[in-house]
Structure 1
Amino acid sequence: MAKWLATPFPPVNICFFDSTSHRSPCFLYRRLNNGMLGGKKFTSLNFMEWKRRRTLIYAVNQDAERAFKKTVEVDRLIDMLRDANDQELQTLVVENVLAFNESFWIRLAARTETCKSEDDKKDYEELASLLMSIVDRLVHKTNEKIESATDVLKAILRPVVDEKEETPWPPRDPEALILMERELNQREQEGQLDEGFLAEVNAQLRQAKEDGDKPGLEAMLRKVLQLYASRVLSKRSYAKKGNEVLTAEQFLEDVIKAPEAEWNKLLIDGLTLGKGEISPEDLYAVINKRVERTLIRTEGGSYQQRILTEYLKGIQSRAEEIVQVLEGGTR
């Protein structure tokens, strides 16, 4: 008895007897296989080529599927990082430090470039800058003890603190304030001014108020919070809309960046009641808009949210005082 086996298309012939016989099932099967399939001669060479192409297509599909899954994973991480608060962000970076490779930064850059609004684009740019700082700090601090919030605050205050006697305020040496601001900016750039740091400053400030006998310390702690708020708020500009410069927004940003001691002069020179072109109503409007943006972009109830909004409201309160004085002078 003849034994033969034929698999469904694509055909593979396995014959266990002499295939020269015209009565052989293998012979008949080969005749079918060598016939016209779809109008095209199907030979063993055609089959090998088809099989090779199918293997290549399968490999390409597998690579594409892996790349897609990787992109989904990176996008999920980016979304988590974008929505995290300061403390969560630090934790996420530590837990996913190996994920911050070339593919991650390329994907983050691609998402930044495809943003539909300038606000979203700036959010991603700020996130990228902060992540780079945290990762860089993490790499350099791997074998070192990361400083506590108290250590960071001490380092910032060191230029203005007099360890031998009661600390005067303002400092006798103007250079001390410059050094203090420089240290704060460096620490902020390294991602060290997080919620833990802000909580420490607030705790120290509350204690100084309760003690009531350290006005110099209380003043310098307030200065730390002012410098922090000024730096964070100055990172984002709303003064340009296309090629147009929004004068009220630009004026507010100038005040935000300036030391508190210079606010009075800036407001007098900039408001219409003084020497400028910005009406009080326009200034109040952009301040309120900036407060709303800050509330949206910071965690509800966080120290950061409170400090930034209080700083903006402080500018408005000062502007209202100046307006009252100028209106009194014009009556």
Structure 2
Amino acid sequence: MAVVAAAVPPTTVCFIGSKFHLCSCMMFRRWNNIELGERRLSSLNLVGWRQRTNLICAVGKDAEKSFKQMVEVDRLIDLLRDTDDKELRKVVAENIFAFNESFWIRLAARTETCKSEDDKKDYEELAETLMVVVDRLVHKTNESIDSATDVLKAILKPVVEKDEEIPWPPRDPNALTLMQNELNQREQEGQLDEGFLSEVNAQLRQAKEDGDKPGLEAMLQKVYQLYASRVLSKRSYAKKGNKVLKSELFLETLIQAPEAEWNAILIDGLTIGKGDISPEELDGVIKKRVERTLIRTDGGSYQQRVLIEYLKGIQARAEEVVRVLQGKTQ
């Protein structure tokens, strides 16, 4: 009996901006007439036959080797997914030669076959982080990795004046923008891990105990806010299919906005002000986002605490604005 081998469409990985997508490129094929036993199959009835019969694939040594390699790649991907930020660079360095074309194709394939949007976004974020870490290891092997203290100093540098005083608010109107740009870059490079958040917490606690550095205390709080805004903004829940969820979109607008703009956004967006989102709707989506964050972060971690505090800060501000507006309307 002749053996029919399944034809697999060629696959390419397309990197678009910071996102990557699996693009299956289906090529036109012309099926030749073949004989299977005493039955002759044309291109048309071959398709029908394939729908009714399991294909028998000839698996040679090359196919077996490819399968084993895919299993190894899957194990590495699973390991990377389960590794925390602090250990990720170490794991990548130990497996640096495994990050070849086959690895990225397999990672893209697993991303596209995810059943939930949350899992898909997890894979996309993992891919972005890995690309940055691999790039740093390959092109910057002679540079020492900055410590958490060095990273924090670099982020605060735009707001620190020559005499090392940190005024609040900053005298330079562009200082906060520069600070946010530096934080975003460090986060993209995977440097804002638990060690970094722990360092911010230690410095903040010391500033509160000293009591004579209100500017430093305010800026460290700002670092936490910028970090939380950056991380929470990566995951959007504002669309469900083709439908835009207005309350989720409104919350995401608040998450991305500077704290100084929250009052104006709340007044313009809530029904008690000028908008069409009820306070109850906003409170509901905030609670839902808190639940999602608790599920998707390590219990007791600094990251979990910072993100939850940021969301509860938005919730508290919304309640305060509602109380003020209700007082004016009574």
TM-score bin, normalised by smaller chain: 0.7 to 0.9
Q: CA deviation at 1:60?
A: 4.8
Instruction: Report the equivalent of 2:154.
Output: 155
Q: Out of 198-207 and 134-143, give the one that drifted further.
A: 134-143
Instruction: Report the equivalent of 1:284.
Output: 283
Instruction: Report the equivalent of 1:120.
Output: 119
**1:207 corresponds to 2:206:** yes
Asked if structure 2 preserves the Cα contact closer than 8 Å seen for 1:85 and 1:298, the reply is: no
Instruction: Report the equivalent of 2:26.
Output: none
SS at match of 2:186: helix
> What amino acid maps onto 1:140 in structure 2?
H
> What amino acid maps onto 1:283 in structure 2?
L
Count residues with an aligned counterpart: 275
> What amino acid maps onto 1:76 in structure 2?
R
Alignment of 1:104-183 (within 5 A): 104-164=103-163, 166-183=165-182
Give me the whole-angstrom Cα distance separating, in 2, the residues matched to 1:172 and 1:327. Answer: 36
**1:88 corresponds to 2:101:** no
Q: CA deviation at 1:116?
A: 1.4
Instruction: Report the equivalent of 1:52.
Output: none
Instruction: Report the equivalent of 2:31.
Output: none
Instruction: Report the equivalent of 1:252.
Output: 251
Give me the whole-angstrom Cα distance separating, in 1, the residues matched to 2:103 and 2:259. Answer: 41
Give me the whole-angstrom Cα distance separating, in 2, the residues matched to 1:86 and 1:166. Answer: 32
SS at match of 2:175: helix
Post-superposition Cα deviations, 1:191-228, rounded to whole Å, max 9, x if no partner, equal 11111111111110010000000000000111111111
Q: Out of 209-218 and 176-185, give the one that drifted further.
A: 176-185
> What amino acid maps onto 2:108 in structure 1?
A
Instruction: Report the equivalent of 2:325.
Output: 326
Post-superposition Cα deviations, 1:275-300, rounded to whole Å, max 9, x if no partner, equal 11111111111111111111111111
Give me the whole-angstrom Cα distance separating, in 2, the residues matched to 1:112 and 1:284. Answer: 32
Give me the whole-angstrom Cα distance separating, in 2, the residues matched to 1:288 and 1:131. Answer: 31
Give me the whole-angstrom Cα distance separating, in 2, the residues matched to 1:114 and 1:270. Answer: 37
> What amino acid maps onto 1:105 in structure 2?
W
SS at match of 2:162: coil
User: Where does structure 2 lack aligned partners over 5 or more consecutive residues?
Assistant: 1-57
**1:310 corresponds to 2:309:** yes
Moved over 6 A (4+): none
Post-superposition Cα deviations, 1:88-138, rounded to whole Å, max 9, x if no partner, equal 322221221111111110000000111112121111111111111111122
Instruction: Report the equivalent of 1:62.
Output: 61
Instruction: Report the equivalent of 2:196.
Output: 197
SS at match of 2:191: coil
Asked if structure 2 preserves the Cα contact closer than 8 Å seen for 1:239 and 1:245, the reply is: yes
> What amino acid maps onto 1:318 in structure 2?
R
Q: CA deviation at 1:325?
A: 1.0
Q: CA deviation at 1:72?
A: 1.0
Asked if structure 2 preserves the Cα contact closer than 8 Å seen for 1:85 and 1:299, the reply is: no
Asked if structure 2 preserves the Cα contact closer than 8 Å seen for 1:237 and 1:253, the reply is: yes
Q: Out of 59-68 and 84-93, give the one that drifted further.
A: 59-68
Larger Rg: 1
SS at match of 2:304: helix
Instruction: Report the equivalent of 2:98.
Output: 99
Instruction: Report the equivalent of 2:54.
Output: none
Instruction: Report the equivalent of 1:269.
Output: 268
User: Where does structure 1 lack aligned partners over 5 or more consecutive residues?
Assistant: 1-58
Query: Greater share of helix residues, 1 or 2?
Result: 1
Q: CA deviation at 1:235?
A: 0.9
Give me the whole-angstrom Cα distance separating, in 2, the residues matched to 1:130 and 1:196. Answer: 17
Question: Judging changes above 3 Å, is the alpha-carbon distance between structure 1 residues 143 and 166 closer, same or farther for their aligned structure 2 residues?
Answer: closer
Percent of residue pairs bearing the same amino acid type = 79
Give me the whole-angstrom Cα distance separating, in 2, the residues matched to 1:99 and 1:232. Answer: 28
Asked if structure 2 preserves the Cα contact closer than 8 Å seen for 1:209 and 1:218, the reply is: yes
Asked if structure 2 preserves the Cα contact closer than 8 Å seen for 1:90 and 1:134, the reply is: yes
Instruction: Report the equivalent of 1:39.
Output: none
> What amino acid maps onto 1:126 in structure 2?
E
Alignment of 1:29-68 (within 5 A): 60-68=59-67
Give me the whole-angstrom Cα distance separating, in 2, the residues matched to 1:140 and 1:222. Answer: 34
Q: CA deviation at 1:165?
A: 5.7
Asked if structure 2 preserves the Cα contact closer than 8 Å seen for 1:122 and 1:236, the reply is: yes
Post-superposition Cα deviations, 1:151-193, rounded to whole Å, max 9, x if no partner, equal 1111111110013163211111101111111111111111111
Give me the whole-angstrom Cα distance separating, in 1, the residues matched to 2:91 and 2:187. Answer: 18
Q: CA deviation at 1:142?
A: 0.8
Instruction: Report the equivalent of 1:34.
Output: none
Q: Out of 66-75 and 251-260, give the one that drifted further.
A: 66-75
Instruction: Report the equivalent of 2:299.
Output: 300
SS at match of 1:89: helix
